């Protein structure tokens, strides 16, 4: 962990109530700041919240949302639940994997994390994706290409 | 005269279909033409097949246009849409659109009317009437209203709400908690999301009513991480409601306190199970707890805790405001009130259909839905989320109420209905259900943790080599073990989608070459 990352973790911890129930909010804030939850941060987080580093690791690994390795600058969450499958999510996934050159949970071309999602709540208008927190529905392979092209222009 | 209003929904499905660009185009085009308009970001009425659905005020109610893209906006101005001019996207008066007119909206009565974060609009549409009424009644009388309405939990288990309220009320404790389950993990469901984004004050009001009834001063909403827009709307709504005095230290001048916190989930389906959710709120892995004790007796940090789904709580203000009969006279048998059916998947006219319990699956998927969007025949419909059963096209006359769906071997669950056409491979869907169970298992029970992985392997073998070699018997044994030896419905109900697929579509369970996803 770099000094800057450690400082970011400290800043998050300084704002948190020092109790175990703060763990998920803290992990979200750390991931928000750094793009992932560095495993080396478990000690400091646990120390502040009254947990062991092992307990912190256990929680981080339980939840699909948290990543422990640095990824790319952008995250595309692709819904693969039934309602989107009924509307071509399989084809969209194959296209995304080909275009980004990575599988689900990987990081592909242009620093884009491709994450699986189980339902994004746009089930009448699939397939849907969540791109850096912005929802897109009725996503054809062509529309996904346009979305990815727009990402490349962003920092 | 104030500038005419143009309504463009800010619901996240509408956003996903380009509503922000439409709103920006309306503003730009009106500026270019020097025509003053007021762009109102309302919520969605749930007719997602028409989103972005733009509305303007007309002489006799609002006029609708849909589905509108940003590129259509100059043409709408050109056609004089503000004055009801003719345009190919014109749908006439919005409330006369048959798909909406045929619904019976109790919980979603306010959906799409106005800016969901406007306290004035909320009050004008009857908001806080339920809470005022509840504060004027003794707690036990509020619980009686819920009992008389016949309200059952909308999260999946359909347990009578009043029984839980009474338990929390009668369990002595210095502190109690109301927890709103907004984890909405089921595929094909979005009604909770629509409430949070489209009528968040109603949810908060329902929580406050529950709090005053059971003696809790604290409420927590557990929102799934996949819903950033819903979470943002709730955070704003809590701020505004507190500033209005609807929440806080002195709720509507009653001297009673009720505060609400918003908590973000982290992508674990099992955290929708109420005890796993409480573990998660305590900062732990989402492991399901053994019951007893039930949360109503010892829940969050051991305190008596009332856990309810978003829809259950959002139904409460209407029950208090209009009386329990308004809710109780709708529905059929022991399924009282309306159900927010969520029509999804391969369907032409998908979205939120609120109707009394008892609507038939056919009325829903053919009547409202208009069949598949692909135009191919309907082959299979999954009712009740990923743990729900599959129904073939021959069983569309099934009435959708808790008892009828259960009698047909399924579960209505949270009301999600997902339609598939005849290209679906049902063995693959059965595999998907097993793989989902394996991936989302909390790990406490061996059949769910290990058995589900065996189930995936078995289904792969069946798809590769066919049902012989004792594989089918093994699969059935495994399902029986899952159904019988699981602590919660994740393991316990995974056999539903697997066995119903097998029962209705045996022809799909044979050698198919590939194996494995997709
Ligand atoms: C695996 C699993 C997932 C669940 N997911 C949800 C959910 O996302 N939302 C929900 O309200 N209830 C969910 N439930 C049901 C809850 O355990 C609980 O019954 C419900 O929150 C109670 O609220 P209600 O009485 O208003 O329905 C789930 C149950 C199980 C077993
Ligand atoms: S059935 Fe599965 S998810 Fe439910 S408690 Fe057992 S292991 Fe956990």
CA-to-CA distance for B191 and B182, rounded, in angstroms?
10
Amino acid B58: pLDDT: 78
Domain with CATH 3.10.20.600 in chain B: 331-421
So what's the architecture of B5-101 in CATH? 3-Layer(aba) Sandwich (3.40)
pLDDT digits (tens, 9 = 90+) for B373-431: 999 999 999 999 999 999 999 999 999 999 999 999 999 999 999 999 999 999 999 99
**Is the separation of the CB atoms in B12 and A135 below 8 Å?**
yes
What strands lie across the sheet with B378-383, from one edge to the other?
A: B351-356, B338-345, B416-421, B378-383, B390-392
- Test the B interface: residue of A121, A136, A138 with most B CBs within 10 Å: A121
Tell me the β-bridge partners of A78: A116, A129
pLDDT digits (tens, 9 = 90+) for B251-309: 999 999 999 999 999 999 999 999 999 999 999 999 999 999 999 999 999 999 999 99
CA-to-CA distance for B459 and B498, rounded, in angstroms?
10
Among candidate residues B218, B217, B214, B223, the one with its CA nearest the CA of residue B195 = B223
CA-to-CA distance for B299 and B314, rounded, in angstroms?
22
Neighbours of A152 (CB within 10 A): 11
Amino acid B518: pLDDT: 40
A128 → chain B, closest CA residue: B16
The reply to whether ligand 1 has any atom less than 6 angstroms from the CB of B151 is no
**What totals of helices (H) and strands (E) does chain B contain, helices first?**
22, 16
Residues contacting B260, CB < 8 A, separation 6+: B204, B207, B208, B218, B219, B220, B221, B238, B241, B247
**Chain A contact for B190, CB < 8 A?**
yes
So what's the architecture of B426-508 in CATH? Up-down Bundle (1.20)
Amino acid B517: pLDDT: 41
What does DSSP say about strands B177-182 and B218-223: parallel, antiparallel, or unpaired? parallel
pLDDT in tens, chain A (155 residues): 899 999 999 999 999 999 999 999 999 999 999 999 999 999 999 999 999 999 999 999 999 999 999 999 999 999 999 999 999 999 999 999 999 999 999 999 999 999 999 999 999 999 999 999 999 999 999 999 999 999 988 76
For a ligand 2 pocket test, name from B157, B278, B288 the mutation site with the most ligand atoms within 8 angstroms of its C-beta: B288
Dihedral sign for Cα atoms in the order A106, B266, B350, B392: positive
Residues contacting A70, CB < 8 A, separation 6+: A34, A35, A36
**Chain A contact for B441, CB < 8 A?**
no
Mean pLDDT of B340-352: 98
Q: Is the pLDDT assigned to residue B515 strictly greater than 50? A: no
Q: How is residue A154 written in tokens? A: 């962003």
pLDDT bucket at B323, cuts 50 / 70 / 90: very high
Domain with CATH 3.40.30.10 in chain B: 5-101
pLDDT digits (tens, 9 = 90+) for B420-444: 999 999 999 999 999 999 999 999 9
- Which runs of E-coded beta strand occur in B21-169? 38-40, 54-58, 61-65, 90-93
What does DSSP say about strands B378-383 and B338-345: parallel, antiparallel, or unpaired? unpaired
Closest ligand to residue B442's CA: 2
CA-to-CA distance for B76 and B322, rounded, in angstroms?
40
Among candidate residues A59, A151, A72, the one with its CA nearest the CA of residue A105 = A72
Tell me the β-bridge partners of B340: B354
Domain with CATH 3.40.50.11540 in chain B: 119-328
**CATH number at B331-421:** 3.10.20.600
Amino acid A130: pLDDT: 96
Percent of chain B with pLDDT over 70: 98
**Which homologous superfamily is B119-328 in?**
NADH-ubiquinone oxidoreductase 51kDa subunit (3.40.50.11540)
B282 with A20: Cβ contact below 8 A: yes
Cα angle for residues B20, B37, B81 (degrees, 5° grid): 85
CA-to-CA distance for B259 and B241, rounded, in angstroms?
10
- Test the A interface: residue of B188, B193, B273, B287 with most A CBs within 10 Å: B188
B380 by DSSP, 3-state: which?
Answer: strand
What strands lie across the sheet with B61-65, from one edge to the other?
A: B38-40, B5-7, B54-58, B61-65, B90-93
pLDDT bucket at B84, cuts 50 / 70 / 90: confident
Domain extent listing, chain A: 3-62, 74-153
A93 with B432: Cβ contact below 8 A: no
Closest ligand to residue B441's CA: 2
- Summary mean pLDDT of chain B: 96
A121 → chain B, closest CA residue: B190
CA-to-CA distance for B416 and B188, rounded, in angstroms?
5
**CATH number at A74-153:** 3.40.30.10
Amino acid B1: pLDDT: 61
pLDDT digits (tens, 9 = 90+) for B176-187: 999 999 999 999
| Residue B482 alpha carbon, nearest atom of ligand 2 | 1
Mean pLDDT of B95-119: 97
Amino acid B513: pLDDT: 44
The DSSP result for B29-64, as a single string, is HHHHHT---EEE-----S-GGG-S-EEEEETTEEEE
B245 by DSSP, 3-state: which?
Answer: coil
A81 by DSSP, 3-state: which?
Answer: coil
CA-to-CA distance for B495 and B470, rounded, in angstroms?
18
Radius of gyration of chain B from its Cα atoms, rounded to whole angstroms: 24
B249 by DSSP, 3-state: which?
Answer: coil
Cis peptide before A143 (omega within 30 of 0): no
A3-62 topology per CATH: Arc Repressor Mutant, subunit A (1.10.10)
Closest ligand to residue B286's CA: 2
């Amino acid at each position: 962990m770099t000094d800057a990352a450690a400082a970011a973790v400290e800043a998050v911890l300084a704002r948190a109530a020092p109790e175990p129930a703060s763990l998920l909010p803290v992990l979200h804030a750390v991931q928000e700041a750094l793009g992932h939850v560095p495993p080396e941060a478990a000690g400091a987080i646990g120390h502040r919240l009254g947990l062991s580093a092992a307990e912190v690791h256990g929680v981080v690994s339980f939840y699909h949302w948290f990543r422990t390795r640095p990824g790319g600058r952008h995250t595309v969450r692709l819904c693969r639940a039934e309602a989107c499958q009924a509307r071509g999510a399989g084809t969209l996934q194959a296209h995304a994997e080909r275009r980004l050159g990575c599988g689900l949970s990987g990081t592909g071309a242009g620093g884009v994390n491709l994450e699986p999602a189980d339902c994004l709540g746009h089930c009448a208008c699939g397939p849907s994706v969540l791109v850096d927190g912005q929802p897109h529905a009725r996503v054809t392979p062509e529309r996904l290409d346009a979305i990815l092209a727009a990402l490349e222009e962003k920092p | 005269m104030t500038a005419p209003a143009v309504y463009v929904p800010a619901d996240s499905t509408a956003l996903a279909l380009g509503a922000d660009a439409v709103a920006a185009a309306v503003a730009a085009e009106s500026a270019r033409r020097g025509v003053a308009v007021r762009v109102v970001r309302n919520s969605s009425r749930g007719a997602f097949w028409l989103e972005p659905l733009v509305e303007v005020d007309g002489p006799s109610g609002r006029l609708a246009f849909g589905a509108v893209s940003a590129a259509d906006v100059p043409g709408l101005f050109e056609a004089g849409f503000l004055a009801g001019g003719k345009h190919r996207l014109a749908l006439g008066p919005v409330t006369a659109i048959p798909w909406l007119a045929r619904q019976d909206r109790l919980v979603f009565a306010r959906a799409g009317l106005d800016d969901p974060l406007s306290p004035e609009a909320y009050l004008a549409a009857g908001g806080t009437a339920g809470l005022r009424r509840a504060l004027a009644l003794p707690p036990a009388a509020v619980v009686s209203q819920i009992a008389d309405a016949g309200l059952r939990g909308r999260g999946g288990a359909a347990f009578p709400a009043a029984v839980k309220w009474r338990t929390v009320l009668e369990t002595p404790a210095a502190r109690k908690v109301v927890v709103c389950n907004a984890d909405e993990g089921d595929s094909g469901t979005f009604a909770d999301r629509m409430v949070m984004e489209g009528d968040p004050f109603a949810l908060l009001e329902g929580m406050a009513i529950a709090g005053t009834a059971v003696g809790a001063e604290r409420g927590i909403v557990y929102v799934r991480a996949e819903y950033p827009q819903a979470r943002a709307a709730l955070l704003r709504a809590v701020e505004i409601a507190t500033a209005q005095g609807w929440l806080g230290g002195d709720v509507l001048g009653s001297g009673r306190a009720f505060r609400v916190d918003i908590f973000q989930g982290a992508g674990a389906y099992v955290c929708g199970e109420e005890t796993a959710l409480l573990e998660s709120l305590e900062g732990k892995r989402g492991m399901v707890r053994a019951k007893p004790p039930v949360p109503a007796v010892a829940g969050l940090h051991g305190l008596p805790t009332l856990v309810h789904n978003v829809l259950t709580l959002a139904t409460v203000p209407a029950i208090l405001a209009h009386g329990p009969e308004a809710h109780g006279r709708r529905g059929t048998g022991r399924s009282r009130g309306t159900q927010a059916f969520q029509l999804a998947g391969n369907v032409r006219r998908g979205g939120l259909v609120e109707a009394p319990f008892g609507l038939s699956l056919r009325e829903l998927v053919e009547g409202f839905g208009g069949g598949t969007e692909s135009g191919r025949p309907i082959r299979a419909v999954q009712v009740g989320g990923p743990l729900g059963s599959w129904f073939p096209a021959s069983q569309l006359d099934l009435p959708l109420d808790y008892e009828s769906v259960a009698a047909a071997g399924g579960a209505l669950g949270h009301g999600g209905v997902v339609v598939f056409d005849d290209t679906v491979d049902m063995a693959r869907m059965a595999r998907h259900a097993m793989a989902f169970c394996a991936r989302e298992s909390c790990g406490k029970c061996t059949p769910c943790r290990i058995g589900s992985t065996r189930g995936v392997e078995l289904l792969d073998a069946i798809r590769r080599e066919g049902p012989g070699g004792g594989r089918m018997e093994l699969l059935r044994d495994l399902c029986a073990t899952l159904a019988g030896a699981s602590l919660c419905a994740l393991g316990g109900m995974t056999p539903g989608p697997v066995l119903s697929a097998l029962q209705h579509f045996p022809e799909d369970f044979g050698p198919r070459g590939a194996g494995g996803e997709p």
